[in-house]
Structure 1
């Protein structure tokens, strides 16, 4: 496989550039970056070395021009840079700022996995969080969690149980916390629990329940959105949610929740009664103990932001 320098040398010959070699190299030597490089390394570069590196200098100028003109260069996403290598001039290719930004965005996106969550959470930001008197505590405690977790991610940090009426920004706040954590290098999984429950039921026939459950229960940070929105069967409550929370409690993994119910309401009006109407207070209490261990309640109020 030919390297780019060989190709440049052949190109120079094919275009009969040798006849106009001096004119060509004059344009190369007049390039500001070439001039600056030769000036900086004047003591290290003899005239003979500069001549022997002509094809490298030509490569650098030619590839740089392609990039400037918006054309695809030799190494897509990389920009040429002159370097010294083994006492000769060489060309190194380094990532462009556009490629660096793209890679950062991809890394950022990979740190947040969402299941059946609204698209808007991808743009959720704590800096854009509408701070009113009835939402200030939630924002303050969110920032406290982020600071404590990032200072010591291996130490257990109790997360938040956000509760309040429809549309006050509970889901948005979860997304904003996840995005801040992602920008600082920490991974989060967000699930809309009613939708996740349906997905788990559908996975039974494909033997995929275990894999989906493992992914959720082992997440470094888990956010369970809209818990209590739909009635749940004893199986979903005990063998899915119960297993997730038991694992996370035993391993002290941060777990957020959002709900329209307070903790007491969630226990009495939702978890205690299964989808068949059976009253199972002990199972509900057992589950609530895990939720209370993992999170502390924070109430959100205010206007319904879905109705503008």
Structure 2
């Protein structure tokens, strides 16, 4: 009997100790400024508080992590980049997780990056900015017109674009990359397309059923940059059913199209007149060129070949 009484006494003492620890933990929780601030905005009864202790401990832990933020990549919270907010769900305490400022910025930056889409364009071009351009007089006019376009472009209202003509390696594509990044900062979707590879892709996409989807994507971009047009092997189908369809839609919808080329207007028209079968179709080439000429400003890009430095 004595051993039973001793055990009961010990159990009672242990239970009292546990209850004291629990009371101390609750008092510490309530004294935390983070918890006090959260409870101010939520009507909490004693019963709700007692039943919601686990949620309050979770809130306390997660928000303390946020106060000592080690950066988004090392965020220790259960949902990386998210912080809890105390709410009432029914009659119980609950947590609603919202993205923190760092997560919002990351999502914003990612969304901005997605505004630039590319087909076969080098990554260094996608990172080009006007601040990084060489300050040389040979490209001053081209740089100025490129920046003016990037700052003033208004897709859907003004379909006027640019046609950058120059020798190989003078920096035409890099300028277009800077334009795309400036447009991205303005929230304008831009597609940069390396024309020869894109036309080859369109040819092969007929067999896998993706032709129309790809064509529509490029047709509808707010701003389209066709890089190195004229470097492709032309065919009547590419000229009329791909390039012609793209330009016709963009002309009607007032969506600006920009071009880079080693050919001037007259040389490009001559190139477009030839087909892979060896025929010459001057009238069809002229129709394409009329659309290009009417909706672009011709800009000569001069300077030394930067690729051999």
Compute the TM-score of the two structures, normalised by the length of structure 1: 0.80
Residue of structure 1 in register with 2:261 after alignment: 259
For 1:43-82, list aligned pairs within 5 A. 54-65=53-64, 68=68, 70=74, 72-81=76-85
Q: Secondary structure at the match of 1:230?
A: coil
Structure 1 residue 188: Cα displacement: 1.3
Structure 1 residue 283: Cα displacement: 2.1
Task: State the Cα deviation string for residues 132-153 of structure 1 (Å, max 9, x = none).
Answer: 212122222222222322xx44
Task: State the Cα deviation string for residues 38-66 of structure 1 (Å, max 9, x = none).
Answer: 7xx49x98996996565544222122345
Structure 1 residue 118: Cα displacement: 1.3
For 1:51-200, list aligned pairs within 5 A. 54-65=53-64, 68=68, 70=74, 72-81=76-85, 91-149=95-153, 152-200=154-202
For 1:219-258, list aligned pairs within 5 A. 219-258=221-260
Q: Secondary structure at the match of 2:168?
A: coil
For 1:248-287, list aligned pairs within 5 A. 248-268=250-270, 270-287=271-288
- Paired residues in the alignment total 287
Structure 1 residue 211: Cα displacement: 2.5
Q: What are the ranges of 5 or more consecutive residues in structure 1 without an aligned counterpart?
A: 1-15
Distance 1:162 1:198 in 2: 23
Distance 1:205 1:56, change over 3 A: closer
Q: Secondary structure at the match of 2:258?
A: strand
Distance 2:182 2:160 in 1: 17
Distance 1:17 1:247 in 2: 75
The reply on whether 1:210 has 2:212 as its aligned counterpart is yes
Distance 2:282 2:122 in 1: 33
Instruction: Give the superposed CA RMSD.
Output: 3.1
Distance 1:84 1:212 in 2: 48
Task: State the Cα deviation string for residues 197-248 of structure 1 (Å, max 9, x = none).
Answer: 1111212323432232222222221110000113312221222212211222
Q: What are the ranges of 5 or more consecutive residues in structure 2 without an aligned counterpart?
A: 1-16
Distance 1:83 1:226 in 2: 57
